[in-house]
Structure 1
């Protein structure tokens, strides 16, 4: 039976760990709440219309006679929420791994105490680790999912051997943005380092991020610039490059690196620059052909309301169903949720890639 716990690499001795709370869990790359980057629309359980009304054009000409001058009205367009239903199951059978018994608990008796660890503090630590991993995976799907995902061997961008079933349930934001803000669009900014033919040749030159962010700001629609909630989302590669520039140049009040609540905050022209460390991790780990990365440097200038996430219930994205199956003598962690992401208005985005 596959299990949430694989202890094959553990060496047992007289002083082995005796509780899960003493185990050092590898940290996830992103366990931020979705609300840090996105508006979250709940109650989305099926194909649902999103309607857009265009801006009213010019109004008012000199009157001539009794009939008023006619003006153009509103033009409506639409997109659709189409959430995917996803699930996963993790199992833990105490009987399959007796050498891990100390990590979970000392059973009072074989039947039923030996097998059932649901509700124990030890298994609670494992559940917390799964919850963090679930958050990280939701962020991954929102940005990197692609209905037509393919490996580099088949003309796609994913590393050969990638299980595409984890990536192809709906179109994520990168797929949508690359389609709606193509390289010919006025709100697209080219990052020349992305075209390098090797990992080394894809490195950003000194001060490149300052140029990228400046070009994005210049390409932004005035309505985006005026929005007080506009922010930049950038790969770590761009954030680090920009941070190095700030430390070497005196750029003034709108270009800052400050620490708020123990967390570094970058700004460009007064707009926050949020570092997406998880983007770099997924690009390097999964969008990699062995010689170079697929667009390793990326930045998006937009607002939370322009890249919303849709789900039936936000609680589904955070909570797990944990239970003990007496028949199988197995502790089970289930997750199931609906999920979609939408890039709404092109003029409220500048994309650099």
Structure 2
């Protein structure tokens, strides 16, 4: 079980101290979206749960001749497996840490057996809320950037020196799975030339580059993907910003625009929603930086929600925390444990760009 260290010394209150829990301002997470915005969620997934695929039959029916019907082409079945891993973490601290961190915590009138027990208090809710946000963000990271063979730059990999790879190597995320299928010529790749730059500056996208990238994604895509109701293009912020700049300078028609729906901006390319993954940029810049350039800073994936599902034994586990007080250790503890896996299903329903 991995342990999270809580450092109260990093918080220095101003002379006019906070007086209420409501005055605590949380640093915003990079992606607090529900997983269901991007993925189908499959529950009840256990080790080696089978995913079966039925192949598409070809032409059927020839002119009958004699008593023997004409043979149809073969019907094939293939399979993949869910392989969810069990992950966990613990955050623990004592009441003395809390007092050192916050002067807004309650003042006990006397020492009693519950003096160190903060579970259930409003103040402890600050910590719980922070853990809940971080858990959501970290699951998004794992679903896309995990790699069971992850290596540091010094060892021929792409992860920044000093990165703790145990946070990344529990299962293969979607980028790893898609890249393997690109190598096997199963998924079509749209190369992004700027990614090959040898410096941060050299990796900058040229003006209107995103237009070409998005156009190629759609042009080479299988007709079944283009026609899918839940088709979407996930992109890094770098591609989205480049595309927005083109929209400001060009009149591309009604299918190419940024609209506001329910208070949120929505990007469209040829009528297909372009979802901006701001968290992707952050993970690339934070964890996949070799000191000179980033590892594939511009990325896009054209697919459907149903083609990149996330699997777990119980969806509740992905957001459920076990909060309790250990009287022996005089410590307040937050535990979490969940099973998690992500699967790229049908190769013809994905086009990647990087």
TM-score (norm 2): 0.96
**1:308-349 per-position Cα deviation (integer Å, ceiling 9, x unaligned):** 000000000011111111111111011100000000000000
**Hey, what's the Cα distance between the residues in 2 that align with 1:238 and 1:281?**
14
* Contact 2:151–2:157 (CA under 8 A) maintained in structure 1: yes
**Hey, what's the Cα distance between the residues in 1 that align with 2:176 and 2:57?**
30
Residue 251 of structure 1: SS of its match in structure 2?
Answer: coil
Alignment map for 1:280-299 (pairs within 5 Å): 280-299=281-300
Partner of 1:217: 218
**Hey, what's the Cα distance between the residues in 1 that align with 2:347 and 2:46?**
25
**1:159-187 per-position Cα deviation (integer Å, ceiling 9, x unaligned):** 01100000000000000000112395672
Q: CA deviation at 1:114?
A: 2.7
**Hey, what's the Cα distance between the residues in 2 that align with 1:192 and 1:130?**
39
Alignment map for 1:37-186 (pairs within 5 Å): 37-96=38-97, 98-100=99-101, 102-182=103-183
**1:99-119 per-position Cα deviation (integer Å, ceiling 9, x unaligned):** 335233222322234311111
| CA distance 1:53–1:194, shift in 2 (3 Å) | same
Partner of 2:257: 256
Partner of 1:27: 28
Partner of 1:335: 336
Deviates more, 1:254-263 or 1:103-112: 103-112
* Contact 2:99–2:105 (CA under 8 A) maintained in structure 1: no
**Hey, what's the Cα distance between the residues in 2 that align with 1:133 and 1:318?**
10
Residue-pair matches, total: 352
**Hey, what's the Cα distance between the residues in 2 that align with 1:3 and 1:330?**
14
Residue 158 of structure 2: SS of its match in structure 1?
Answer: coil
Answering whether residue 244 of structure 2 is matched by residue 243 of structure 1, we say yes
* Contact 1:104–1:117 (CA under 8 A) maintained in structure 2: no
Partner of 1:203: 204
**Hey, what's the Cα distance between the residues in 1 that align with 2:271 and 2:210?**
16
**1:101-156 per-position Cα deviation (integer Å, ceiling 9, x unaligned):** 52332223222343111111111122111101100000000000000000010111
**Hey, what's the Cα distance between the residues in 2 that align with 1:33 and 1:60?**
47
Residue 113 of structure 2: SS of its match in structure 1?
Answer: helix
* Contact 1:299–1:352 (CA under 8 A) maintained in structure 2: yes
Q: CA deviation at 1:282?
A: 0.2
Residue 124 of structure 2: SS of its match in structure 1?
Answer: helix
Q: CA deviation at 1:4?
A: 5.5
Gaps of 5+ in 1: none
Q: CA deviation at 1:228?
A: 1.3
| CA distance 1:100–1:160, shift in 2 (3 Å) | closer
TM-score (norm 1): 0.96
* Contact 1:19–1:102 (CA under 8 A) maintained in structure 2: no
**Hey, what's the Cα distance between the residues in 1 that align with 2:21 and 2:131?**
14
**Hey, what's the Cα distance between the residues in 1 that align with 2:151 and 2:14?**
46
